[in-house]
Amino acid sequence: MSFFVGFSAIAQNNLNDYMVMAAKQNPDVNVAFNQYLAALEKVPQVGSLPDPQASAGFFLQPMELIGGNQVANIQVMQMFPWFGTLKASKSEAALMAKASYEKFNSAKSTVFYQVKSNWYQLQKTDEEIELIKENIELLESLEKLVLVKFQSPVSESSAPAMPSTKNSMNKSSSGMSGSMGGNKNQTSVAPIATRSSSANMSSGMSSSKSGLQDVLRVKMEILEQQNRLAELVDQRETQEVSFNALLNRDLTIPIEITAKLELEMLPMDKAVITDSILSNNSMLAMLQNESESYTAMQEKAKKMGLPMLGLGLNYMVIQPRAGNTAMMNGNDMIMPMVSVSIPIYRKKYTAMQNEAKYMKEAINQQTISLRNDLRVQYQQIMQQMDNAARKVILYKEQENLARKTTELLLSDFSTSGANYEEVLRMQLKVLDYGFNYIEAVVENNIAVANIEMLLNYQKTH
């Protein structure tokens, strides 16, 4: 079918520009992106060694040693976590950063869906405004036609009645100079002419009243459509405010749409969409990364329960002592040091492992729930698309039939003046079918945008 086509290049490029703008300026997207950047900064924090410890001590009175007098003691110590602890910590932080990135992707996909949805609603309003304007023009043309019909019966019905009345009066006056028989005949003709004139005048008055009703009825409908048009114009202004808010810019900037509303198509074959959603959905990817991060957290907790090793140096400042003949008199001393932490309080490490285990199980259950929800959402969206596709075909065909019927009724009305109410009713049917067709196309396009959001499909068309 010819109307199952994509957007024109101009309209699509225009929409893509707005999507790029939203990705750069939308606050929700920027929040998620900054959270991702913050998560990245945790990786070097947890992957670094503990700060070395340094201490210094001074004797108020030098300590007498064999090799001299010790006046100060300086100590430096570096602790090292058990082998693999830092790697597990970095892995945990990196996986959480990946989860934050998928959350950012989800926020961007959601904003893209909102931009597309608002765009389609703007197009819908524009199309409805055009339909209303077209309908008002047709109603105004019908009003002019009704006015012509309203004026014509009055002149046609009164004009013939007046001559018939004058002729009867002339014949009656001329017969008065004739015989009595002639007077009787003339007297019998006058009432017939009078009744004919009265009938014509009555018919003219009835036709005049009917024509006036038709004029008032079409005027009422024009006023109704003009009010409807004003409501649509106000609605579009509100939609522009909502659209500009998504772009995080001045809310008064007008949105110009250069192309007509047309039907959007799915980005891929229906047969592979379900598997693609389960493979590419950002929220599923986020949960997967979180689950893996809790696995790394378990490993980290296990490593933290093992001893920490420390290496250091102890530097002793020694002054020479008078009268001391020892060879090392006054020589400073350097002492390498090794230390080991003894993690005897095991409850906290066991609790950390259990925490990671339970959190991982919770994430796994959440993943199962989300997978089921995505399958249900996909089925619901596809049902909406199928319904929209049927309605697009139905209302397009009904609109075409209603237009043809209206043309035939108008032609009949312009010649005989009959079926006026049917003309008006059918013209409103054309408008209703047009509105329904536009609504069906928008329903389809929003459903396609929803599928693209679930697919994390962010490519330009």
Give the C-alpha separation, 138 to 143, whole Å.
9
Residues 165/193, Cβ–Cβ less than 8 Å: yes
Q: Which residues are within 8 A (CB) of 309 and not within 5 positions of it... i.e. 6 or more apart?
A: 79, 80, 82, 338, 339, 340
- Exposed, middle or buried, 133 (CB in 10 Å: 0-12/13-18/19+)? middle
Residues 435/398, Cβ–Cβ less than 8 Å: no
DSSP H helical ranges for 248-341? 270-280, 282-304
Where are the domains positioned within the chain? 9-48+83-156+217-308+344-454
Q: Please give the single-letter amino acid code of residue 373.
A: D
Q: How far is CA 218 from CA 20, 150, 407, in A?
A: 48, 13, 17
Give the C-alpha separation, 142 to 394, whole Å.
27
Quick one: how many helices (H) and strands (E) in the chain? 9, 4
Beta bridge partners of 317: 72
Residues 420/389, Cβ–Cβ less than 8 Å: no
In angstroms, the first-to-last Cα distance of the chain is: 21
> Which two tokens mark 377?
């959402």
Radius of gyration for the alpha carbons in the chain, expressed in angstroms and rounded: 46
Q: What pLDDT, on the 0 to 100 scale, is given for residue 415? A: 80
**What's the whole-model pTM score?**
0.80
pLDDT tens for the chain, residues 1 to 461: 333 334 344 455 589 999 999 999 999 999 999 999 999 999 999 999 999 999 999 988 888 877 788 899 999 999 999 999 999 999 999 999 999 999 999 999 999 999 999 999 999 999 999 999 999 999 998 888 878 766 665 444 333 333 333 343 343 334 434 433 444 444 444 443 344 444 444 444 445 555 677 788 889 999 999 999 999 999 999 999 999 999 999 999 999 998 789 999 999 998 899 999 999 999 999 999 999 999 999 999 999 999 999 999 999 998 888 777 777 777 888 999 999 999 999 999 999 999 999 999 999 999 999 999 999 999 999 999 999 999 999 999 999 999 999 999 888 887 877 778 888 899 899 999 999 999 999 999 999 999 999 999 876 55
Residues 97/293, Cβ–Cβ less than 8 Å: no
> Which two tokens mark 204?
């003219």
* 3-class state of residue 43 by DSSP: helix
Q: What pLDDT, on the 0 to 100 scale, is given for residue 410? A: 85
Burial 181-203 (b: 16+ CB within 10 A, else e): eeeeebeeeeeebeeebeebeee
Residues 263/441, Cβ–Cβ less than 8 Å: yes
Nearest one of 436, 445, 355, 354 to 399, comparing CA atoms:
436
Q: What is the CATH number of domain 9-48+83-156+217-308+344-454?
A: 1.20.1600.10
Give the C-alpha separation, 202 to 204, whole Å.
5
Residues 73/256, Cβ–Cβ less than 8 Å: no
Q: What pLDDT, on the 0 to 100 scale, is given for residue 145? A: 81
Q: Which residue has the tokens 């237009």?
A: 403
The 10 Å Cβ neighbour count of residue 165 is 17
- The DSSP code sequence of 374-441 is HHHHHHHHHHHHHHHHHHHHHHHHHHHHHHHHHHHHHHHHHHH---HHHHHHHHHHHHHHHHHHHHHH
Give the C-alpha separation, 138 to 248, whole Å.
41
| Helix-, strand-, coil-residue percentages of the chain, each rounded to 5 | 70, 10, 20
Residues 157/204, Cβ–Cβ less than 8 Å: yes
* 3-class state of residue 340 by DSSP: strand
* 3-class state of residue 341 by DSSP: coil
